[in-house]
Amino acid sequence: MTAASNKNRKLIVKLLAVVAAMIGLSFASVPLYNLFCSTTGFGGTTRRAAAAPEAVAGRVITVSFNADVNRDLAWEFHPMQTAVRFRVGEVGIAKYSARNKSAVPVVGTAVFNVQPDKAGPYFNKIECFCFTEQLLAPGEAAEFPVTFFIDPAIMDDPDMADVTDITLSYTFYRAKDQSKARAAALALHEGTGKGTIPPTTLQ
Is the pLDDT reported for residue 203 higher than 60? no
The DSSP bridge partners found for residue 111 are 171
Q: Which of 41-50, 93-102, 171-180 has the lowest mean pLDDT?
A: 41-50
What is the chain's alpha carbon radius of gyration, rounded to the nearest angstrom? 23
Say how far residue 116 (Cα) sits from the centre of its chain: 17
Within 10 angstroms of residue 142's Cβ, the number of other Cβ atoms is 17
Mean pLDDT of 51-73: 91
Pairwise CA distance, residues 99 & 6, whole Å: 63
CA distance linking residue 177 with residue 168, whole number of Å: 26
- Mean pLDDT along residues 156-179: 96
Mean pLDDT computed over 134-139? 96
> Residue 82's pLDDT is what?
96
State the pLDDT at residue 192. 52
